[in-house]
């Protein structure tokens, strides 16, 4: 039997194929949630245990076999008990012994899957919330509540439209899976490499081109991948060696790549998993979230580009020679491969459903890859692509399914409302004070949690406080998500920085601190869209355009202040002037008198300095 044929008959491929066919069927014939969600959970559990084994020893294989059997048993329970579970009334009908048994089994198996995918950090957070369920009556002060009985806990977490059958699992079913499919298909057909090559061709020979190519490549790759670590791995293997060769230290190269790749979670149209959850929490089309994310993402990458440019001017490093680009293939013959992401963007703009748009874009990628011999998929390539989709989708699904437990506890115990009241009280009732505390909370949470987990907890605990203080709901959610994204490069636990340090063969902690220092140019951007929601594409087009121009100018001024260089080294006074005007522009709503004075001052300062430097 040939190797491809053997793989076609392998259990892993058959599982991946069933997962693919199930998700595709849902687009044609939607099923009731009582079927859809348990099947998605069951297939995700099976895939995780199939692709992430406990180890290579015999007893490891026994454990994996038991977990696979337990996952299949849980799935069978939901399918067999479907008529009763569909008709039962929450908090009225009895919770049977079989419900307690399989509900407990599901939660235990799910926790092991979470441990294998993201480690112990999320396990401990979930454990703390679960403990709160039962210890609520003994919690001090405002944390106290009546607590849950075990049967009620199992009902809420595994039988009702909360917990693991709640909004996060629905997000994985409705959105995340299809965009992971698109990212895998586009990368498998050569799209990811096209982005990297295009970035090198576009900016490689500019001043600081080695680092700038990493920024552009990460921004482009972010349109199809919402994972910072995946972005680091995909682009860093090309850009980090180039940066090291053109004068950057290993730690600097890793820090630049980590910071650039982290922004991929903010880059439409795919963004990160947190953006799909945001759409579900706000009950708005995903296209609205993607549109709102355009200016914050552009501001993120513009800020990085400016700081890299200023550093390159000051130090005279980072420019690639023509010989460094000699091995890059021509872009023209591969230009047709840009069709797939362009189709995705166009369909989202035309208000097609997000999963349908992702599916069509995947189909376009599969068709266009056959235009050239070099990009055509072989049978092995098809098998790899289908298996990779199941692997990635399950490893993203499992953590966000588990986060449903946290959401259920926070809502059912009224913790979310009480926490927001306490946060407002601690901040003295001031918006700036609350925002600073929320930034700290997001970064601390994000140090040990996946971005989506940190965002969901932040959305539950922090967003209500911001909206009570008058912040637009969408802006509050983006504010929380932005800083949870930045936690990926914030030491002491900075997953994107550590991944980049591994590629660069650099000290991971030094790389993390350099990435954090580099990210200082990004930290003020969320304040701008909190004080001016037009930056999230709300309002008249001319105000949106004016707000966009002003935030770009202020971001550049902030970069100048941080770097202390603009055509020549700047003294402390000029740096403070640039920083002051940048803060005033960012913190003032577009069109107000304060904004006008600050914008005029910034323009005059810049023009005066430019004239003197000629």
CA 359, chain centre distance (Å)? 20
What local confidence, expressed as pLDDT, does residue 418 receive?
86
Q: Across residues 460-481, what is the average pLDDT? A: 93
Q: Across residues 357-374, what is the average pLDDT? A: 92
Return the top range by mean pLDDT from 73-77, 135-139, 576-580. Answer: 73-77
SS (H, E, C) 377-420: CCHHHHHHHHHHHHHHHHHHHHHHHHHHHHHHHHHHCCHHHHHH
φ/ψ (deg, to 5) at 270: -80, -45
Half-sphere exposure of 480 (CA within 13 A, CB side): 30
Per-residue pLDDT reduced to its tens digit, 485-534:
888 887 776 778 888 898 999 888 898 888 888 888 888 899 998 999 89
Matching residue, tokens 């946060």: 423
Cα separations in angstroms, 488 against 258, 280, 481, 482 = 8, 23, 12, 11
Give the pLDDT band of residue 50 (cuts 50, 70, 90). Answer: very high
From the number of C-beta atoms within 10 Å of its C-beta (0-12, 13-18, 19+), residue 255 rates as: buried
Q: 283: which residues sit within 8 A by CB, 6+ positions away?
A: none
What local confidence, expressed as pLDDT, does residue 479 receive?
95
Per-residue pLDDT reduced to its tens digit, 577-602:
989 988 988 888 888 888 888 888 88
Cα separations in angstroms, 163 against 157, 178, 452 = 4, 23, 16
What local confidence, expressed as pLDDT, does residue 229 receive?
81
Cα separations in angstroms, 450 against 112, 447, 474, 486, 579 = 16, 8, 21, 11, 33
Residue 60 has pLDDT above 80, yes or no: yes
φ/ψ (deg, to 5) at 356: -65, -40
Residue 118 has pLDDT above 90, yes or no: no
Per-residue pLDDT reduced to its tens digit, 601-613:
888 887 887 777 6
Domain ranges of the chain: 3-169, 170-405, 539-614
Q: Across residues 35-46, what is the average pLDDT? A: 96
From the number of C-beta atoms within 10 Å of its C-beta (0-12, 13-18, 19+), residue 352 rates as: middle
Residue 322 has pLDDT above 80, yes or no: no
pTM of the model: 0.89
DSSP secondary structure string for all residues of 126-152? HHHHHHHHHHGGGS-GGG------HHH
Q: Across residues 38-53, what is the average pLDDT? A: 96
Q: Across residues 137-153, what is the average pLDDT? A: 88
Per-residue pLDDT reduced to its tens digit, 236-266:
888 898 898 888 899 999 999 999 988 888 8
Whether the bond into 492 is cis, omega within 30 of 0: yes
Q: Across residues 547-562, what is the average pLDDT? A: 90
What local confidence, expressed as pLDDT, does residue 613 receive?
63
Question: How far apart (Å, rounded) are the C-alpha atoms in residues 184 and 181?
Answer: 5
Question: How far apart (Å, rounded) are the C-alpha atoms in residues 119 and 121?
Answer: 6
Give the pLDDT band of residue 43 (cuts 50, 70, 90). Answer: very high
Q: Across residues 263-290, what is the average pLDDT? A: 87
Cα separations in angstroms, 6 against 14, 102, 155, 383 = 11, 35, 43, 11
Q: Across residues 183-187, what is the average pLDDT? A: 91
What local confidence, expressed as pLDDT, does residue 178 receive?
93
What local confidence, expressed as pLDDT, does residue 614 receive?
60
Cα separations in angstroms, 50 against 113, 136, 470, 514, 548 = 11, 38, 48, 38, 47
Residue 407 has pLDDT above 80, yes or no: yes
Nearest to 184 by CA among 26, 384, 40: 384
* Residues 558/579, Cβ–Cβ less than 8 Å: yes
Question: How far apart (Å, rounded) are the C-alpha atoms in residues 580 and 557?
Answer: 9
Give the pLDDT band of residue 330 (cuts 50, 70, 90). Answer: confident
* Residues 467/424, Cβ–Cβ less than 8 Å: no
Burial 143-180 (b: 16+ CB within 10 A, else e): eebebbeeeebbbbbbbbbbbbbbbbbbbbbbbbbbbb
* Residues 359/178, Cβ–Cβ less than 8 Å: yes
Q: What is the mean pLDDT of the chain?
A: 88
For the chain, percent of residues with pLDDT exceeding 70: 98
* Residues 437/426, Cβ–Cβ less than 8 Å: yes
Cα separations in angstroms, 44 against 121, 221, 400 = 20, 25, 11
Give the pLDDT band of residue 203 (cuts 50, 70, 90). Answer: confident
Residue ranges of alpha helices (H) inside 316-353 are: 339-349
What local confidence, expressed as pLDDT, does residue 487 receive?
83
Matching residue, tokens 């004070």: 433
Burial 44-54 (b: 16+ CB within 10 A, else e): bbbbbbbbbee
Give the pLDDT band of residue 421 (cuts 50, 70, 90). Answer: confident
* DSSP designation for 317: -
């Amino acid at each position: 039997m040939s190797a491809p044929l053997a793989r076609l008959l392998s259990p892993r491929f058959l599982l991946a194929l069933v997962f693919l066919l199930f998700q595709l069927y849902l687009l044609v014939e939607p099923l009731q949630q009582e079927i859809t969600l348990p099947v998605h959970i069951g297939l995700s559990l099976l895939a995780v245990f199939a692709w992430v084994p406990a180890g290579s020893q015999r007893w490891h294989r026994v454990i994996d076999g038991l977990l696979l059997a337990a996952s299949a048993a849980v799935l069978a329970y939901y399918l067999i008990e479907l008529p009763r579970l569909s008709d039962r009334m929450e908090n009225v009908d009895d919770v049977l012994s079989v419900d307690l048994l399989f509900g407990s089994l599901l939660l235990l198996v799910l926790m092991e899957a979470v441990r294998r995918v993201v480690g112990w950090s999320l396990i401990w957070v979930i454990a703390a919330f679960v403990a709160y369920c039962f210890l609520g009556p003994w919690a001090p002060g405002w944390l106290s509540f009546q607590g849950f009985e075990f049967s009620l806990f199992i009902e809420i977490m595994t039988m009702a439209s909360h917990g693991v059958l709640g909004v996060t699992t629905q997000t994985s079913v409705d959105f995340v899976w299809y965009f992971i499919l698109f990212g895998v298909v586009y990368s498998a057909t050569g799209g990811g490499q096209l982005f990297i090559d295009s970035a090198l061709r576009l900016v490689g020979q500019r001043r600081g081109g080695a680092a700038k190519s990493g920024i552009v490549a990460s921004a482009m790759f972010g349109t199809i991948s919402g994972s910072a670590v995946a972005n680091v791995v995909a682009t860093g293997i090309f850009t980090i060696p180039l940066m090291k060769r053109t004068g950057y230290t290993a730690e600097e190269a890793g820090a630049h790549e980590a910071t650039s790749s982290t922004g991929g979670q903010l880059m439409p149209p795919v963004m990160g998993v947190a953006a799909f959850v945001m759409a579900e929490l706000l009950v708005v089309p995903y296209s609205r979230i993607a549109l709102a994310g355009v200016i914050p993402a552009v501001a993120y990458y513009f800020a990085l580009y400016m700081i890299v440019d200023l550093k390159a001017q000051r130090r005279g490093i980072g420019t690639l020679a023509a010989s460094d680009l000699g091995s890059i293939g021509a872009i023209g013959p591969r230009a047709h491969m840009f069709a797939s992401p362009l189709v995705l963007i166009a369909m989202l703009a035309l208000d097609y459903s997000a999963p349908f748009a992702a599916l069509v874009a995947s189909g376009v990628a599969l068709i266009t890859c056959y235009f050239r011999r070099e990009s055509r998929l072989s049978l092995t390539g098809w098998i790899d692509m289908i298996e990779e989709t199941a692997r990635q989708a399950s490893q993203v699904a499992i953590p966000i399914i588990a986060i449903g437990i946290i959401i259920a506890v926070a809502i059912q115990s009224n913790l979310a409302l009480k926490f927001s009241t306490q946060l407002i009280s601690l901040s003295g009732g001031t918006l700036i004070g609350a925002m600073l505390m929320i930034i700290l909370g997001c970064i601390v949470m994000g140090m040990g949690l996946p971005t989506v987990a940190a965002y969901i907890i932040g959305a539950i605990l922090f967003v209500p406080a911001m909206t009570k203080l008058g912040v637009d709901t969408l802006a509050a959610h983006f504010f929380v998500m932005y800083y949870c994204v930045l936690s990926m490069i914030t030491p002491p636990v900075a997953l994107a920085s550590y991944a980049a340090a591994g590629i660069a063969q650099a000290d991971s902690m030094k790389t993390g601190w350099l990435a954090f220092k580099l990210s200082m140019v990004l930290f003020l951007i969320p304040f701008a869209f909190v004080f001016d929601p037009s930056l999230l594409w709300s309002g008249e087009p001319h105000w949106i355009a004016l707000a966009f121009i002003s935030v770009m100018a202020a971001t550049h001024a902030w970069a100048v202040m941080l770097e202390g260089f603009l055509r020549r080294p700047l003294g402390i006074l000029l740096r403070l002037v640039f920083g002051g005007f940048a803060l005033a522009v960012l913190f003032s709503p577009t069109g107000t008198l304060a904004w006008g004075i600050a914008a005029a001052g910034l323009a005059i300062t810049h023009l005066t300095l430019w004239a003197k430097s000629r």
